[in-house]
Structure 1
């Protein structure tokens, strides 16, 4: 038999308990067909000498925003700055390269890096010179707009009211400050959307080339087609076209936004509820491009203190955040989507929102049985001890992002206090409690590098050097690697064919200078990615 690829001289960590180590790996038709002695006497069209490097299953980021990230790579980057004057200068420099009628788009602003301060709208107006300007916050839950943007969005029109689930921040005189929270962001975004198919394909190409260089072979796009996280109602078509044109360099699972589901005129006997006109639902597609859970927002973010808590934030005795709609209506939509065949990816960060998510998902599961793809709570940040067994019993996966420890960890601890910080972005207690916890980043809201995410799960270090929350929540390097590989496969419904390197599994792997288990914790993020392969075909290195 002539194989497609044989990897020799490797330190292979299969992430399969029954066969954890190997030194050779064979690939045929995109699948692993043998290890070590099983390859004796076989040859291949291609040989790859790993020269003693570590080989692990490809990293799988189960919650990121790939189209958005790809778009930001072509925008003015405000990341890494530390003073507001630096922000102004970066905007001025970027604006000089744009035409007189062009929008000015910027990304990467994090108010925590500036002592909680925001750019002055008057200065933004001066920089823009009459053009609309729009800055996305790294959290994705707020943005900053100048006066011209707000004017075009109708904010100054008589009778304007804030959208449900969102807020246009105003000063003491009632004038907009430029800060838009939650759903209010769509006021501006709807002026430029939908993006063209060509723009989305180019964004996917940029983003997934970057993923390949980081060892990422699979990802879940956390919201497409609608809301403030979708970029076109035809976003699936853009993904299909990117795949066909060779611009999609990693496997993708797509989560439609709940906003795009609507009543479907199906036969009354079907009890269809809400969905998409073609009737597709979670699980539709193949190993490379598929439809995953439907994404719904219940609350906001900890960074802007809009996540819904049962007790108040430390900064304000009257502030608990808020749900993005009436609780009963949100629960009703969740159940309606579930009975129509949709698994659920419920954004819930505060413990009050998590209570609602557990109740809604648990109720739906009891009524209609298990989903085709696991249901999840996205972020699952502030999780009280009493909520842990409820998550396990309802078989709900959770996606906490360790990358937030560095970006906003110190600010979150100040907002929540010591006890609740110990409950926040848990890891070890999820694993020990039998709750499925895959690896994810929420890129570009946080650093999307998988190796940095693995290190953050292990050390839980904040920007100040403190340990975020409870030190008992730290993972071992092996547990963190397993989260980004085998567990991510399970949590996305691909556990029978993705996430481990044993015969029959997809040949998605990453070649590393060293495995995370073989270096000091502080060196994990700096491990060099030597190669990345999807289905045995190298997307990076090789």
Structure 2
């Protein structure tokens, strides 16, 4: 049965650059046929739903290849610190939040999204800021990168942290007198996350659904998400099962499972859930491993010292031997591995570990990937390509990070940063993600950044390191073909062709004919998942379908 026909459009199939059709027929949630209006409309049956696209541009539904789906939704109900410019502003917002949303017994005050690099005085907030918000409740302020945060004394007490505490792979900052100043980095901060009271399953499901609705409004139909920072695995699974039972899964989830050490990974593997396990709405994706921190926090692990912090190379979460052990176990067990690695030191550790595992288990082709891969010269990129390791890049980072990369790394290493075009040139597969809630979920913003290498004010002139700009087709591919390949779905998603899932995004303008400077202004008018509309821009006055 032909359930729906979408016709009279410019439907870019992404099979190759420029390839398009004007109509598609949908059956069983998949593309039955793609071709001309005449060919496809001839397939219509009595109850076929017809949608006149009125010439609109259509692309495959977007895939966000790395984000934090549940955390994005949870942050919508937390203390929003995005855009603050001072310690005082954090305190004012924090106190107002507590007054408006008095915490229940045992509840924490969690703030997210501050970036000290944009402060008038760019210094990380310390324990005095958190204490000024509240001494009654646990206060946890999370920097936008998620790799450094600030807590009050109540949190330090709950964690059992004191001046003598040492955390492997983490840092507890101290003041000039050798006392903890409330600033925590990497593993020291990760432990705090595990102490935060876990939201119940209903709250997780509501948060996930909020994020899915936002994602659908941006044309996203698939998301690769790391949710285990928000809740334990069983709670995450239960929340998605609840959404499935309600028919509310409007994105296809590829779950990135954080299991940082061998004992945890062994326990997870006993579930017999290897990469790809699941159904059309939820699948187990990769084992997610954090190998370093962030550039903004100076915790990304570098091969050389930071230019603006001599003696500091960042934080290596693993020794090479410890990383090798985790990767070998995951690899031989059939698990794709995804490595958060921003600095070139961390990227080098990861490629060494994968090379070693693949040499021992030659039959395994698991499409391991580096998440972020921001600082990596051509030598490392060539090794990644040779090992079949892809990259989940966040093009929006070029807009937000460009002002600080030179000061952090110096001019020479700045040339080896965010090398998206070089990745393609050496043969790597790359997918596009947002890292939401760090950046907006909007793929059209990411595509604009990838194509122009400019910020929201269209600066710098000519783009930041313009030789690394992508073509529009390459940039759209990040969020379609690239993301699909990362999850072994290149014959299921990322293209509009017979047999593929009927996941599509209808745009307000033709992205391939729009001035690149205006790509970020394009909006999504319809999002279609499995042939059914899951988002419509104007519900009261449908523009397209009747």
**Fold-level match, TM-score > 0.5?**
yes
- Tell whether 2:517 aligns with 1:512: no
Distance 1:18 1:188 in 2: 47
Distance 1:436 1:534 in 2: 25
Moved more, 458-467 or 192-201: 458-467
Partner of 2:50: 47
Q: Deviations over 1:215-243 (max 9, x none)?
A: 11001013x44xxx352131223222222
Q: Deviations over 1:170-224 (max 9, x none)?
A: 11112322211111113322222433211211110111111001111001013x4
Partner of 1:494: 489
How far off its partner does 1:372 sit?
5.9
Distance 1:220 1:260 in 2: 21
Q: Is the 8 A contact 1:23 1:36 kept in 2?
A: yes
Distance 1:344 1:125 in 2: 39
Secondary structure at the counterpart of residue 408 of structure 1: helix
Moved more, 251-260 or 27-36: 251-260
Partner of 2:75: 72
Distance 2:328 2:505 in 1: 39
Distance 2:352 2:463 in 1: 28
- 1:421-460 matches, cutoff 5 A: 421-460=414-453
Structure 2 residue ranges without an equivalent (≥5) = 537-544
Q: Is the 8 A contact 1:424 1:469 kept in 2?
A: no
Q: Deviations over 1:451-488 (max 9, x none)?
A: 00000101112478237752210011111001110121
Question: Across the two proteins, how many residue pairs are aligned to each other?
Answer: 527
- Tell whether 2:223 aligns with 1:219: yes
Partner of 1:256: 257
How far off its partner does 1:358 sit?
1.0
How far off its partner does 1:333 sit?
1.2
Q: Deviations over 1:490-518 (max 9, x none)?
A: 12210111000011111000000113222
| Shift in CA distance, 199/373, structure 1 to aligned 2, threshold 3 Å | farther
Partner of 2:245: 244
How far off its partner does 1:261 sit?
6.0
Partner of 1:270: none
- Tell whether 2:373 aligns with 1:380: yes
Moved more, 232-241 or 448-457: 232-241
Partner of 1:162: 166
Partner of 1:343: 336
| Shift in CA distance, 462/412, structure 1 to aligned 2, threshold 3 Å | farther
Instruction: Give the alignment's TM-score, normalised by structure 2.
Output: 0.92
Q: Is the 8 A contact 2:331 2:366 kept in 1?
A: no
- 1:2-401 matches, cutoff 5 A: 2-17=1-16, 20-37=19-36, 38-43=39-44, 45-99=48-102, 101=105, 102-114=107-119, 115-156=121-162, 160-222=164-226, 224-225=227-228, 229-234=229-234, 235-259=236-260, 262=263, 275-371=268-364, 373-401=366-394
| Shift in CA distance, 358/260, structure 1 to aligned 2, threshold 3 Å | closer
Q: Is the 8 A contact 2:260 2:290 kept in 1?
A: no
Distance 2:126 2:22 in 1: 58
Secondary structure at the counterpart of residue 485 of structure 1: helix
Secondary structure at the counterpart of residue 185 of structure 1: helix
Distance 1:237 1:161 in 2: 36
How far off its partner does 1:96 sit?
0.5
| Shift in CA distance, 371/510, structure 1 to aligned 2, threshold 3 Å | farther
Distance 1:374 1:120 in 2: 41
Moved more, 141-150 or 189-198: 189-198
Q: Is the 8 A contact 1:451 1:527 kept in 2?
A: yes
| Shift in CA distance, 129/300, structure 1 to aligned 2, threshold 3 Å | closer
Distance 2:279 2:262 in 1: 22
